[in-house]
Protein backbone atom coordinates (compact mmCIF):
# COMPACT_ATOMS: atom_id res chain seq x y z
CA UNK A 1 0.00 0.00 0.00
CA UNK A 2 1.49 3.36 -0.98
CA UNK A 3 1.63 6.49 1.12
CA UNK A 4 1.57 10.13 0.14
CA UNK A 5 2.38 12.96 2.52
CA UNK A 6 -0.33 15.47 3.26
CA UNK A 7 0.93 18.83 4.51
CA UNK A 8 -1.01 18.73 7.76
CA UNK A 9 0.56 18.66 11.21
CA UNK A 10 -1.47 17.31 14.09
CA UNK A 11 -0.61 16.30 17.61
CA UNK A 12 -0.76 12.55 18.23
CA UNK A 13 -4.04 13.03 20.12
CA UNK A 14 -5.56 15.07 17.26
CA UNK A 15 -4.43 12.48 14.73
CA UNK A 16 -5.95 9.58 16.65
CA UNK A 17 -9.31 11.34 17.12
CA UNK A 18 -9.37 12.31 13.42
CA UNK A 19 -8.15 8.93 12.16
CA UNK A 20 -10.84 7.01 14.01
CA UNK A 21 -13.48 8.94 12.04
CA UNK A 22 -11.67 8.95 8.67
CA UNK A 23 -13.17 6.89 5.83
CA UNK A 24 -9.67 5.77 4.74
CA UNK A 25 -6.40 4.91 6.49
CA UNK A 26 -3.68 7.45 7.22
CA UNK A 27 -0.35 6.88 8.88
CA UNK A 28 1.26 9.43 11.18
CA UNK A 29 5.00 10.11 11.22
CA UNK A 30 6.27 12.75 13.64
CA UNK A 31 3.30 15.06 13.16
CA UNK A 32 2.89 14.50 9.43
CA UNK A 33 -0.14 12.71 8.00
CA UNK A 34 0.58 10.09 5.34
CA UNK A 35 -2.48 9.13 3.32
CA UNK A 36 -2.62 5.47 2.37
CA UNK A 37 -4.13 4.44 -0.92
CA UNK A 38 -5.19 1.19 -2.51
CA UNK A 39 -3.05 -1.90 -2.78
CA UNK A 40 -2.45 -4.00 -5.87
CA UNK A 41 -3.80 -7.48 -6.44
CA UNK A 42 -0.34 -8.94 -5.80
CA UNK A 43 -0.01 -6.95 -2.57
CA UNK A 44 -3.37 -8.21 -1.31
CA UNK A 45 -2.59 -11.84 -2.20
CA UNK A 46 0.83 -11.71 -0.50
CA UNK A 47 -0.63 -10.04 2.59
CA UNK A 48 -3.44 -12.60 2.85
CA UNK A 49 -1.11 -15.55 2.34
CA UNK A 50 1.37 -14.18 4.89
CA UNK A 51 -1.36 -13.62 7.47
CA UNK A 52 -2.76 -17.10 6.84
CA UNK A 53 0.65 -18.74 7.17
CA UNK A 54 1.46 -16.91 10.40
CA UNK A 55 -2.02 -17.49 11.82
CA UNK A 56 -1.72 -21.24 11.21
CA UNK A 57 1.69 -21.37 12.90
CA UNK A 58 0.34 -19.53 15.96
CA UNK A 59 -2.56 -21.88 16.71
CA UNK A 60 -2.33 -23.09 20.31
CA UNK A 61 0.35 -20.51 21.13
CA UNK A 62 0.11 -17.38 23.23
CA UNK A 63 0.24 -15.14 20.14
CA UNK A 64 -2.24 -13.29 17.92
CA UNK A 65 -1.93 -12.19 14.28
CA UNK A 66 -3.58 -9.06 12.91
CA UNK A 67 -4.20 -7.81 9.39
CA UNK A 68 -3.49 -4.32 8.08
CA UNK A 69 -6.34 -2.67 9.94
CA UNK A 70 -4.54 -2.88 13.29
CA UNK A 71 -2.67 0.35 13.94
CA UNK A 72 0.77 0.18 15.61
CA UNK A 73 2.21 2.98 17.76
CA UNK A 74 5.93 3.69 17.97
CA UNK A 75 7.55 5.89 20.62
CA UNK A 76 9.38 8.04 21.81
CA UNK A 77 8.90 9.99 18.57
CA UNK A 78 5.20 9.26 18.25
CA UNK A 79 4.28 7.59 14.99
CA UNK A 80 1.34 5.40 13.97
CA UNK A 81 1.46 2.81 11.20
CA UNK A 82 -0.73 0.18 9.58
CA UNK A 83 1.58 -2.75 8.84
CA UNK A 84 0.30 -5.37 6.42
CA UNK A 85 0.52 -8.04 9.13
CA UNK A 86 1.42 -7.81 12.81
CA UNK A 87 1.91 -10.48 15.46
CA UNK A 88 1.89 -10.01 19.21
CA UNK A 89 2.95 -12.69 21.66
CA UNK A 90 1.94 -12.71 25.31
CA UNK A 91 -0.69 -10.19 26.44
CA UNK A 92 -1.42 -7.52 23.79
CA UNK A 93 -1.27 -3.94 25.09
CA UNK A 94 -3.35 -1.20 23.53
CA UNK A 95 -3.21 2.57 23.68
CA UNK A 96 -6.70 2.88 25.16
CA UNK A 97 -10.00 1.08 25.55
CA UNK A 98 -10.83 1.30 21.84
CA UNK A 99 -8.34 -1.58 21.25
CA UNK A 100 -7.35 -0.44 17.75
CA UNK A 101 -3.77 0.71 18.43
CA UNK A 102 -1.29 -2.01 19.40
CA UNK A 103 1.69 -0.99 21.52
CA UNK A 104 3.69 -4.21 21.76
CA UNK A 105 4.00 -6.05 18.42
CA UNK A 106 6.49 -8.91 18.28
CA UNK A 107 6.59 -9.22 14.48
CA UNK A 108 5.72 -6.68 11.79
CA UNK A 109 5.41 -7.55 8.09
CA UNK A 110 5.35 -4.99 5.29
CA UNK A 111 4.74 -5.90 1.66
CA UNK A 112 6.91 -3.67 -0.50
CA UNK A 113 6.02 -2.02 -3.77
CA UNK A 114 8.02 0.36 -5.94
CA UNK A 115 6.17 3.30 -4.38
CA UNK A 116 6.64 2.22 -0.73
CA UNK A 117 9.98 0.37 -0.58
CA UNK A 118 12.15 3.38 0.32
CA UNK A 119 9.71 4.54 3.01
CA UNK A 120 9.28 1.04 4.48
CA UNK A 121 13.05 0.44 4.54
CA UNK A 122 13.86 3.95 5.77
CA UNK A 123 11.72 6.20 7.95
CA UNK A 124 9.19 3.53 8.85
CA UNK A 125 11.89 1.04 9.83
CA UNK A 126 13.63 3.66 11.98
CA UNK A 127 10.35 4.22 13.83
CA UNK A 128 9.67 0.51 14.23
CA UNK A 129 13.13 0.08 15.79
CA UNK A 130 11.88 2.20 18.72
CA UNK A 131 9.39 -0.52 19.75
CA UNK A 132 11.05 -2.53 22.52
CA UNK A 133 8.86 -5.62 21.98
CA UNK A 134 9.61 -5.87 18.24
CA UNK A 135 11.75 -8.93 17.46
CA UNK A 136 11.33 -9.22 13.68
CA UNK A 137 10.64 -6.74 10.87
CA UNK A 138 9.91 -8.69 7.70
CA UNK A 139 9.88 -7.05 4.27
CA UNK A 140 8.32 -8.95 1.37
CA UNK A 141 8.75 -7.71 -2.19
CA UNK A 142 5.76 -8.05 -4.47
CA UNK A 143 7.85 -7.32 -7.56
CA UNK A 144 10.00 -9.98 -9.17
CA UNK A 145 13.62 -8.90 -9.33
CA UNK A 146 15.03 -8.55 -12.84
CA UNK A 147 18.13 -10.74 -13.36
Neighbour tally for 33: CB within 10 Å: 22
Is the Cβ–Cβ distance between 26 and 40 less than 8 Å?
Answer: no
At residue 116, the pLDDT reads: 87
Say if residue 103 is exposed, middle or buried (CB neighbours under 10 Å; 0-12, 13-18, 19+): middle
User: pLDDT value at position 147?
Assistant: 44
Which pLDDT belongs to residue 119? 92
Write down the pTM of the prediction.
0.89
Q: What is the pLDDT along the chain (147 residues), one digit of tens a residue?
A: 555 454 567 899 999 999 999 999 999 998 899 988 778 899 999 999 999 999 999 999 999 999 989 999 998 889 999 999 999 999 999 999 999 999 999 999 999 988 889 999 999 999 999 999 999 999 999 876 544
Predicted local distance difference test score (pLDDT) of residue 122:
94
The rounded radius of gyration (Å) of the Cα atoms in the chain is 15
110: DSSP letter: E
Q: What is the pLDDT of residue 15?
A: 94
Amino acid sequence: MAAIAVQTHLTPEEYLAWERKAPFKNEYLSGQILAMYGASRAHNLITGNTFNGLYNQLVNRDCEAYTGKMRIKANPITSYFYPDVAVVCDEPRFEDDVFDTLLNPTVVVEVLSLSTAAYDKGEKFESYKQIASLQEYILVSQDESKR
